[in-house]
Chain A
Amino acid sequence: MNELNNNVDIKDWYVSHFQAFENSLNGSSKAPFHQIRRSAIAKFADLGFPGRRDEEWKYTNLSALLKHKFPVAARPASLPAETVRQFVFKGLAENLLVFVNGRYSKALSNYRASAAGVVVDSLENALKNRPEVIERYLAKYAPFEEESFVALNTAFAVDGAFIYVPDNVAVEQPVHLLYISDVSAGSHFASPRNLIVAGRNSQVKIVESYHGVGESPYFNNVVTEAAVNENARVDHIRIQDEGLNAYHVYSLETHQQQNSVYWMVNVDMGGALVRNNLTLTLDAENCEGHLLGFYMANGKQHIDNHTAIDHAKPNCFSNELYKGILGGKAKGVFNGKIFVRRDAQKTNAYQNNKALLLSDDATINSKPQLEIFADDVKCSHGATVGQLDNEALFYLRSRGIPQDQANSILQHAFANEVFEHITIASVREHLEEIIAERFARL
């Protein structure tokens, strides 16, 4: 079957499951959000899946994902607590929300409400209990009318994380959102949907992590929206460490108000095929947006980061640094767009991406894309691709450090430029341990 016919066939498969999904919703299909789901499935039926002729998907071939007909994830039986425990990041066991196959598990979660008015809950509960917040923010930023994966997620979105921080509140303990895909009973596709709302003058730190249990192939299609209100600060860490049976598409849309600060550190280690679509919109003056990413891939892994930073208003600052280490026959893609709108004078925007290729068969396609419509701006971008520095390697070995360890020290140093921005020390430490063990395998 050619690509076009196959994409239509698979699209029809997902569309045809919407009806059954809708019936399974019972009462909640009467909530206003369900109208959005319906528009989204109609839009998805229009858009279909992107093909390789689509400029945004030129280097990422979806055929491996689109040969599967994945059923909608069912609400799973619970997992043993020790299965969950192995994935929990250090120091965060008491600030934990666990999602299995995209559905919140109260039994496995352990979150103690902190400051008054802070809501850390499942989206499913929030759809019932917080209609005013849902109506104001949910599906307002992630463009289901244009992006087929966002449309597909929106159509099937029932659950995920809901974090609401009221005005003038700083949440002290980081919130750990732990997503486990359990495919030991078979394949599925899941549509986790997260909404983060940070009120005026608020602060919150969020650690999202993705893991898998079981061998069957599956498709995780995640959307996260973050509304960062005036003078708020959000520290957002995402760590994707799923198995090689995972297809993972992650879409992020942030919307920043005046004087707000948003930091993201995005780490991909797992997955057979990973695509991140990350968009920061700096929609008021004096905002700061930071986008840091690290990815490592081996074997036949494919990791694609498409990022966009939209400077809509004047006097904002953005900084982006993406670094990747690729071994085996792994493929990396980096596309970094920076838009500076006509109004956005005095913009400072910096972008840099660096890739380290450890084998002759690993490849990276890297493309910075700056579209600048204002005249008084400072923008820069840089891209480098290289191998480990042989001189540095020899220097370390000449001091008695064995070759494997010398390799891993240099890879670690390369990654450090990103990790040093992780402000939660225990998470950084834990991540470095995982990474060190992975480096040893590269």
Chain B
Amino acid sequence: MIAIKDLKVSVEGNRILKGVNLEIKAGEVHAIMGPNGSGKSTLANVLAGREDYQVDSGEVLYRGKNLLEMSPEDRAREGVFLAFQYPVEIPGVSNANFLKTALNEIRQYRGLEKLDAMEFLSLVKERMQLVEMDPKLLNRSVNEGFSGGEKKRNEIFQLAVLEPALAIMDETDSGLDIDALKIVANGVNKLRGKDRAFLVITHYQRLLNYIVPDFVHVLVDGKFVESGGKELALQLEEHGYDWIKNEREASVTM
């Protein structure tokens, strides 16, 4: 579904990603773990099309197309979705109107009929249940005054409504208590399927107890230093990121 080849990215002149390679196939769930500042969020934002990032070299092929040349809105219409680490508050824009506009833009792009108000309402009612979101939040302004947990649920709720092919979750677990984490993870698990891929970015292994990945990659200082199955997450949890760093340093010394 997506192939990232030797991706190098800078922010304000500082090289953050130093050659990232990753291939994700439909139906797979990949987790990226790494310490703070390793470049996890940079990767998520570059894939979603945020403008403050300078791609120095490398390429990203998404379903055979050059993703990096697309506008953020075209990426979304092609099926890329980023669940934000810090969802922004947008006063004066109702959650329902916003989501209806987004959904109909995407449907139109895919050659589907726009949903009318009734069809939209019945869809969102059903999808809200996936993350046990309070229906009142639908009529509020986007994320305005939402608690941390409500914001994260709103992200996964949007994911459920927009039905992307590739869902990137940027530290969706941060700021969630264990109950909210279970609910969000449960919602994500219901959205897994053979046509959809997930890229789950997290600092902690905890989330991966509930969203069990097929592959785990460890990002340190802008490069993947280790890749493996779900058991790699457990090793990291046990030994910490220093274990990886030490192991690398040891191999360099040898």
A residues in contact (CB < 8 Å) with B:
389, 391-392, 394-403, 405-406, 409-410, 412-414, 416-417
Residue from A395, A406, A417 within 8 A of B88 (CB atoms):
A395
Q: Is the CB of A409 within 8 A of B51?
A: no
Q: Kindly count the residue-residue contacts between A and B in the assembled complex, taking CB atoms under 8 Å apart.
A: 74
Given A394-B50, A405-B101, A409-B101: A399 in contact with B90 (beta carbons within 8 A) = no
Given A409-B98, A413-B93: A398 in contact with B88 (beta carbons within 8 A) = no
Q: How large is the interface on B (under 10, 10 to 19, 20 to 34, 35 or more residues)?
A: 20 to 34
CA gap between A395 and B77 in the complex, in Å: 14
CA gap between A414 and B103 in the complex, in Å: 23
CA gap between A389 and B89 in the complex, in Å: 10
**Residues on the B chain within 8 Å of A413, using CB:** 90-93, 141
**Residues on the A chain within 8 Å of B7, using CB:** none
Instruction: Determine the residue in chain A with the shortest Cβ distance to B93.
Output: A413
Residue from A392, A398, A400 within 8 A of B90 (CB atoms):
A392
Q: A399-B158, A400-B106, A402-B71 are in contact. List 4 more A-B contacts (CB 8 A).
A: A399-B81, A399-B99, A401-B101, A401-B105
**Residues on the A chain within 8 Å of B84, using CB:** 395, 398
**Chain B window 90-127, contacts with chain A (Cβ cutoff 8 Å), 1 for yes, 0 for no:** 11110000110111011001000000000000000000
Task: Verify if B49 is at the interface (C-beta below 8 Å from A).
Answer: yes
A-B contact pairs, 12 of them (CB 8 A): A395-B90, A397-B71, A397-B72, A397-B76, A398-B73, A400-B105, A402-B71, A403-B73, A405-B101, A406-B73, A413-B93, A414-B92
Task: Verify if B133 is at the interface (C-beta below 8 Å from A).
Answer: no
> How far, in Å, is A267 (CB) from chain B's closest CB?
17
Q: Is the CB of A398 within 8 A of B92?
A: no
CA gap between A253 and B114 in the complex, in Å: 49
**Residues on the A chain within 8 Å of B99, using CB:** 399
Residue from A401, A412, A417 within 8 A of B73 (CB atoms):
A401
> How far, in Å, is A189 (CB) from chain B's closest CB?
39
CA gap between A76 and B71 in the complex, in Å: 54
CA gap between A392 and B86 in the complex, in Å: 11
> How far, in Å, is A64 (CB) from chain B's closest CB?
35
Residue from B81, B87, B103, B109 within 8 A of A395 (CB atoms):
B87
Q: Is the CB of A396 within 8 A of B98?
A: yes
Q: Is the CB of B92 within 8 A of A399?
A: no
Q: Is the CB of A394 within 8 A of B92?
A: no
**Residues on the B chain within 8 Å of A389, using CB:** 88, 90
> How far, in Å, is A399 (CB) from chain B's closest CB?
4
Q: Is the CB of B72 within 8 A of A398?
A: yes
**Residues on the A chain within 8 Å of B101, using CB:** 401, 405, 409
**Residues on the A chain within 8 Å of B93, using CB:** 409-410, 412-413
Task: Verify if B82 is at the interface (C-beta below 8 Å from A).
Answer: yes
Task: Verify if B48 is at the interface (C-beta below 8 Å from A).
Answer: yes
Residue from A400, A412, A417 within 8 A of B109 (CB atoms):
A400
> How far, in Å, is A186 (CB) from chain B's closest CB?
43
**Residues on the B chain within 8 Å of A395, using CB:** 84, 87-88, 90, 142
CA gap between A406 and B101 in the complex, in Å: 10
Given A405-B101, A409-B93, A409-B101: A399 in contact with B88 (beta carbons within 8 A) = no
CA gap between A400 and B70 in the complex, in Å: 12
Q: Is the CB of A401 within 8 A of B102?
A: yes
Task: Verify if B167 is at the interface (C-beta below 8 Å from A).
Answer: no
Task: Verify if B162 is at the interface (C-beta below 8 Å from A).
Answer: yes
Given A405-B101, A412-B92, A417-B92: A399 in contact with B50 (beta carbons within 8 A) = no
Residue from B71, B73, B81, B88 within 8 A of A391 (CB atoms):
B88
Q: Which of B42-73 contact A (CB under 8 A)?
A: 48-51, 71-73
